[in-house]
C-alpha cells in the first residue's frame, strides 16, 4: 500500500511497470478488449492514459471502442454490459434445440455449430499455457474474440453439442481436440476450473487489493460437472482415469444438505442442476445416496406453485440457499436435476414442469427479470437474456424424452 511506496526503489518500480505494460499491450485484443470483459477493459484504458499514451494513440482508441461496444443505448435507457456471450449462448441454444427435436430445430442447431466450429482455438497463445506449455490447444472462448482465454465450460458444452449433433461426424476432429485439451487441464484434486490449472493459492485473496476477493480460478462443481458430462457421453477409453478423478471430486463437493455450490450461476440450484446430470451421464446407479440427498434438498425448497428460485444473497447467507423469487431458468435447473435423478414421474417433477408450461408467454418466451448468472458472487451478477429460453427448453425436452422412453 501507500505506506511502503517510499521503500520501493525507483528502478524496481520502473522495471515492474514496463513488464506490466508489455503484458497488457500483448493482450489488448483490439476492439474486443482485454479479457473481453468490462473490469479488465476499463482498467486497461485507464492504465494507457496513466502511462501517457496520447488520446489519439491507436491502442488507446481501440481500448475505448471496446468499451463503447458494450454500451446498450435506446430512447429510454442506457446501460453497460459486463461482456458478451455469443459462444456460450449459441452452444446452450444448440443443446436445447437438439433436445426439442424437429427438423427446424435440428437445422438451427447445426447452423449454430457450424458458426462455432471455426472459433476453436488450437494454436493461439494463452495464459493457460503457463501451467501446460506442451498441451495442444482446443478450447473455445466465451466471447466473439478472446484468444488468450479459452475456458473449459464453453469448451465442454460446445463439444457436447457437437458430439450429439445429427451430423456429429462433421465435428469429430473438433470434439477430439476439445477433449484432449479438457483432460489436459484437469487440476490435481480431480476437478476442473474455468481457465487454469491448480490456481488455488487462496492466501492471495486476502491481500488488500484483491479484486472482489476473486484473484484465483479454483476447480468448481459446475464446470467439473459439464466436463464430466461430455467425457462420459463421448466415452473415450483414454479419458476414463481422468473421468474417475473428476467424479470423485464432484461427489466430494456435495454439501451436507444434498446440494452443490454454483460458482457461475445462482447458486445451489445451478450447481445441483449441473451435478446431477453429470452423475447420471457417468452411469452412477440411481439408487445412490447422492441422488437421494439431492432430491431431498430439491423437494425441501420447491415452492407451492411448483417453481424454484434462489436469491443472490445465498452466496453470503446459507438461509437463502434454494430460496427466492421464482424464475424460469432456476426452475429448469431443478427440473434437470429431478430428471437426471430418475424422478421423471414424481409429482414434484410434474409440478415444476407444469409451472414452466403455465408461465410461458403466448409467443413462446418466458419472462425473467432476475439475475441468475454469476460473474463474481455478490459483486458482479449477470442476467443472461437467453437463460429463460434455453434452460426451460432443455429441461422440458429432456423430461419429454424420458417420459416417452
| Residue numbers annotated as active site | 153
DSSP letters for 16-66: HHHHHHHHHHHT--GGG-GGGSHHHHHHHHHHHHHTT--TT-HHHHHHHHH
User: What number of residues does the chain have?
Assistant: 405
Using an 8 Å Cβ cutoff, are 329 and 372 in contact? Answer: yes
Q: Which residues of 341-366 are buried (b: 16+ CB within 10 A; e: fewer)?
A: bbbbeeebbbbbbebbeebbeeeeeb
Residue 156 cell numbers, joined: 465442454
Query: SS in 3 state form for 95-159?
Result: HHHHHHCCHHHHHHHHHHHHHHHHHCECCCCCHHHHCCCCCCCCEECCCCCCCCCCEHHHHHHHH
Q: Which distant-in-sequence residues (6+ apart) come within 8 Å of 192 by Cβ?
A: 152, 182, 185, 186, 219, 220, 223, 224, 227, 246
What distance lies between CA 230 and its chain's CA centroid?
14
CA 260, CA 271: separation in Å to the nearest integer? Answer: 5
Extract the runs of DSSP E, i.e. beta strands, from 165-213: none
CA 61, CA 58: separation in Å to the nearest integer? Answer: 5
Cα dist from 225 to 33, 185, 338, whole Å: 29, 14, 16
Using an 8 Å Cβ cutoff, are 28 and 44 in contact? Answer: yes
Torsion angles phi and psi, residue 361, rounded to 5: -75, 160
Find cell 436435476 and name the residue: 337
The CA-CA-CA angle for residues 366, 389, 100, to 5°, reads 120
Within 10 A of 71 (CB to CB), how many other CB atoms are there?
10
H or E segment and range at residue 1: none
Candidates 321, 320, 335, 200; CA nearest to 260 is: 321
Amino acid at each position: 500500500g501507500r505506506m511502503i511506496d517510499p521503500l520501493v526503489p525507483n528502478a524496481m518500480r520502473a522495471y515492474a511497470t514496463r513488464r506490466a505494460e508489455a503484458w497488457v499491450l500483448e493482450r489488448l485484443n483490439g476492439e474486443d478488449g482485454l479479457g473481453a470483459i468490462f473490469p479488465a477493459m476499463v482498467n486497461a484504458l485507464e492504465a494507457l492514459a496513466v502511462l501517457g499514451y496520447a488520446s489519439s494513440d491507436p491502442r488507446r482508441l481501440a481500448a475505448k471502442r471496446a468499451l463503447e461496444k458494450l454500451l446498450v443505448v435506446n430512447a429510454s435507457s442506457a446501460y453497460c454490459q459486463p461482456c458478451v456471450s455469443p459462444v456460450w449462448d449459441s452452444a446452450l441454444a444448440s443443446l436445447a434445440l437438439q433436445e426439442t427435436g424437429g427438423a427446424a430445430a435440428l437445422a438451427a442447431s447445426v447452423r449454430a455449430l457450424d458458426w462455432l466450429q471455426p472459433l476453436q482455438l488450437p494454436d493461439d497463445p494463452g495464459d493457460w499455457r503457463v501451467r501446460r506449455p506442451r498441451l495442444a490447444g482446443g478450447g473455445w472462448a466465451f466471447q466473439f474474440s478472446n484468444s488468450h482465454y479459452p475456458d473449459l465450460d464453453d469448451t465442454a458444452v460446445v463439444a457436447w453439442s457437437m458430439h450429439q449433433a445429427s451430423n456429429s461426424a462433421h465435428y469429430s476432429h473438433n470434439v477430439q481436440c476439445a477433449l484432449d485439451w479438457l483432460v489436459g487441464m484437469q487440476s490435481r484434486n480431480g476437478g476442473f476450473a474455468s481457465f487454469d490449472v491448480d490456481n488455488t493459492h487462496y492466501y492471495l485473496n486476502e491481500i488488500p487489493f484483491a479484486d472482489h476477493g476473486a484473484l484465483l480460478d479454483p476447480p468448481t462443481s459446475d464446470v467439473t460437472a459439464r466436463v464430466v458430462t461430455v467425457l462420459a457421453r463421448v466415452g473415450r477409453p483414454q479419458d476414463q482415469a481422468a473421468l474417475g478423478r473428476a467424479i470423485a471430486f464432484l461427489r466430494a463437493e456435495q454439501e451436507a444438505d444434498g446440494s452443490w455450490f454454483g460458482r457461475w450461476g445462482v447458486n445451489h440450484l445451478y450447481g445441483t442442476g449441473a451435478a446431477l446430470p453429470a452423475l447420471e451421464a457417468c452411469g452412477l446407479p440411481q439408487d445412490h445416496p447422492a441422488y437421494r440427498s439431492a432430491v431431498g434438498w430439491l423437494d425441501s425448497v420447491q415452492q407451492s406453485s411448483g417453481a424454484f428460485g434462489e436469491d443472490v444473497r445465498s452466496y453470503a447467507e446459507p438461509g437463502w440457499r434454494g430460496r427466492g423469487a421464482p424464475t424460469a431458468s432456476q426452475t429448469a435447473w431443478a427440473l434437470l436435476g429431478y430428471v437426471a435423478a430418475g424422478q421423471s414421474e414424481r409429482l414434484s417433477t410434474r409440478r415444476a414442469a407444469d409451472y414452466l408450461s403455465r408461465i410461458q408467454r403466448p409467443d413462446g418466451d418466458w419472462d425473467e427479470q432476475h439475475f441468475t448468472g454469476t460473474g463474481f458472487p455478490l459483486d458482479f451478477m449477470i442476467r443472461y437474456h437467453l437463460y429463460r429460453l434455453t434452460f426451460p427448453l432443455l429441461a422440458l425436452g429432456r423430461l419429454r424424452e424420458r417420459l416417452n422412453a
